Structure 1
Amino acid sequence: MTEEGPAGLDLRSLSGYLGVPVSATLIPGGRSNLTYHVVAGGEDLVLRRPPLGHVLATAHDMGREFRVLSALAPTPVPVPETIRFCSDDSVIGAPFYLMRRVEGAVMRSTTQTDPLGADRRRSLAFAMMDTLAALHAVKPDDVGLGDFGRPDGFVARQVKRWSGQLDKSRSRPLPDVDALRDRLVATIPSSLGQGAVVHGDYRLDNLIVAPDGSEIRAVLDWEMATLGDPLTDLGLLMTYWDVLGGPAAAGAAGVVADGIGPRAGFPTGAELIDRYVASGGVDVGPLDWHVALGCFKLAVIAEGIYYRYTLGQTVGEGFERFADMAGPLTAHGLAALAPVEG
């Protein structure tokens, strides 16, 4: 056992807690909660814990992640097998959970997606939408998640929540982000009523897929999952896909992933929505407001990550580039809401 481990993980304490020798490495790519590959007594596991500092309320709740993963295990939604949740901060300095490692690839860059070719990229994108439709078809009460959130007034609370998190993550003036928030507040759509399990950050690079793109093996990063309006998942996915993955934001897209969206040779967002509906997804209707909310949410998340970077509370490289994300995101969000106001 190695006594010193990667930042944020006390291997001596973790080994004592598990009762077996432990080694670990930080899995790169995550920008919020920290993820580690852990070998514990010969077992291949993954450990998730909150970031090192500036934890926003409910945004990094390990217990919620563990609960939703465990609840979805018997459903058609592919998730990693959960092993153990620890709420005791004294073990590694924060709550954490362990899950079984799933073999496969996380597709983030064009170096990974280009070799797939057009046909396999198309099949992978459609499988992504089939999986999202399967998630939204899960009845919360049937899997013990009936109290996992409050669907009534969900989208209004989303605007309020992300507005509050913006205020907690400010390190500089952001007038366009404030303008987008104000327009969202003024144009909140009616709630759908009955809620679905929503992932909260559903996108291609939060999936583990077969290296050849032939199947989706697991959906990852459930830190923002709740019960709510499934259109928020779709709006955010379209923000990643058509905004960051489109030609207008080529500079900002590489901060998150450059291997997504039409610019990387995948089908358009409109084709993905058609596939989602054909797979049994909810009636999508106009998505402009939800795309604008997605733009606002990503701008706030980017600012939060950048804020932690300025405080020296991030692990890894490239965090300074998040300073460039709010501009193109808020511009697109404001443009999406313009027809609503007219």
Structure 2
Amino acid sequence: MSSADTALPGLDLDRLADWLAAHRPELAQGPLRGELIAGGKSNLTYAITSGTTSFVLRRPPLGHVLATAHDMTREHRVISALADTDVPVPDTYALCEDTEIIGAPFYLMELVAGTPYRRARELEALGPERTAAISAGLIDTLAALHSVDPVTVGLGDFGRPEGFLERQVRRWKKQLDASYSRELPAATELHELLAKSVPPQSASRIVHGDYRLDNVLVDASDRVAAVLDWEMATLGDPLTDIGLLLVYQRMGTHHIPGVTDVAAAQGFLGESEMLDRYAHRAGLDLTHIGFYVALASFKLAVIAEGIYYRFIHGQTVGAGFDTMGDMVDPLLRAGIAALQQDQE
């Protein structure tokens, strides 16, 4: 299969080959072949090979995109900045901001060997000891990220950490208002509780924004080989990452369709073990972890309501979208409970 007879959505391999010939000729020693390995509303990811070399290309999704959510320059910048730290990331090869090449900005990075575990059954096939090691590595890697001084790696201006938590509360309320289609009294209650319960902010660190096991690659030795999907990365309160991870895992243990359920696998570290391990390695105070769990619950409820809103208005289609609305109220109530427990 040559570049001339390969049709990939969002990527013209012939035009890419011409660009590589001028900018990174060592990556295009033969006809290019490619495969879309991740697509949808997130950034598109392609595995590409010339027969002698292989790499990954990332570009924004097709159609209308939010510049802030699909900024290739920011993704490329944060991955490149972390290259010499203890955070495992792919090597970056090139950034192209010229939209005339493939129709959108893109960047190239190393194709890292590894598995993005998503299902408990995948981990159960490895056994509880290996599962425990993988979940410990997941936490250790997050702690390593949150131990990086942004200024030291050239990311001191990567975001606006001042007032980060307050802006998050406002942002997700604004998103919910834009998807309003039904009464959600629990949303009003949770938002009010969050707005008046914002804790003192942790030291500014690099926030991944969507950290979970299926957004990292695990190698054959059960170590995290690379952290992927940096499209939500910014500077802010690092505890928002751990709060979101906990909510993902709580949802997974209830086997909610479409949500990774890895935390249900035998051997996967429990919440208290994960929090103790994280606090020890990151050196951060988890006194108000309930707030961060509540904020993450609010965020995911708003995202689910937005998908449900677009589905019922015929603006999007997808497996499971018809039931997304069923997730919203349980998430909101879980957030209220987490915040109330935090205040006891």
> 1:1-342 residue pairs with structure 2 within 5 A?
1-19=3-21, 20=28, 21-28=31-38, 32-40=42-50, 42-168=52-178, 170=179, 172-173=181-182, 175=184, 176-192=186-202, 194-211=203-220, 214-241=222-249, 243-246=250-253, 249-250=254-255, 252=256, 254-258=257-261, 260-262=262-264, 265-305=267-307, 320=322, 322-339=324-341
Alpha-carbon contact 1:125-1:267 (below 8 Å) kept: yes
The CA deviation at 1:269 is 1.1
RMSD of the TM alignment (CA)? 2.6
Q: Distance in 2 between matches of 1:16 and 1:95?
A: 16
Larger deviation, residues 153-162 vs 170-179: 170-179
When residues 200 and 263 of structure 1 are mapped into structure 2, their CA distance, relative to the original with a 3 A threshold, is: same
Task: Count residues with an aligned counterpart.
Answer: 332
Q: Distance in 2 between matches of 1:148 and 1:134?
A: 18
When residues 56 and 183 of structure 1 are mapped into structure 2, their CA distance, relative to the original with a 3 A threshold, is: farther
When residues 100 and 4 of structure 1 are mapped into structure 2, their CA distance, relative to the original with a 3 A threshold, is: same
The CA deviation at 1:122 is 1.0
1:2-33 C-alpha deviation (Å, 9 max, x unpaired): 45533232333333332343322221477622
Alpha-carbon contact 2:39-2:61 (below 8 Å) kept: no
1:253-301 C-alpha deviation (Å, 9 max, x unpaired): x30212x214665121111011112224312222111001111222233
Alpha-carbon contact 1:3-1:11 (below 8 Å) kept: no
Alpha-carbon contact 1:207-1:216 (below 8 Å) kept: yes
Name the structure, 1 or 2, with higher relative contact order (CA <8 Å, separation 6+): 1
Larger deviation, residues 119-128 vs 32-41: 32-41
Letter aligned with residue 13 of structure 1: R
When residues 135 and 341 of structure 1 are mapped into structure 2, their CA distance, relative to the original with a 3 A threshold, is: closer
Q: Distance in 2 between matches of 1:305 and 1:6?
A: 26
Letter aligned with residue 166 of structure 2: A
Larger deviation, residues 203-212 vs 9-18: 9-18
Alpha-carbon contact 1:261-1:267 (below 8 Å) kept: yes
Letter aligned with residue 220 of structure 1: L
Alpha-carbon contact 1:23-1:40 (below 8 Å) kept: yes
The CA deviation at 1:320 is 5.0
Q: Distance in 1 between matches of 2:314 and 2:62?
A: 11
- SS in structure 2 of the partner of residue 274 of structure 1: helix
Q: Distance in 1 between matches of 2:77 and 2:219?
A: 25
Q: Distance in 2 between matches of 1:71 and 1:325?
A: 37
The CA deviation at 1:102 is 0.2
Structure 1, unpaired ranges of 5+? none
The CA deviation at 1:333 is 1.1
TM-score (norm: length of structure 1): 0.87
Q: Distance in 1 between matches of 2:181 and 2:64?
A: 16
When residues 311 and 6 of structure 1 are mapped into structure 2, their CA distance, relative to the original with a 3 A threshold, is: farther
Q: Distance in 2 between matches of 1:308 and 1:10?
A: 30
When residues 308 and 79 of structure 1 are mapped into structure 2, their CA distance, relative to the original with a 3 A threshold, is: farther
Letter aligned with residue 251 of structure 2: L
When residues 13 and 198 of structure 1 are mapped into structure 2, their CA distance, relative to the original with a 3 A threshold, is: same
Alpha-carbon contact 2:297-2:335 (below 8 Å) kept: yes
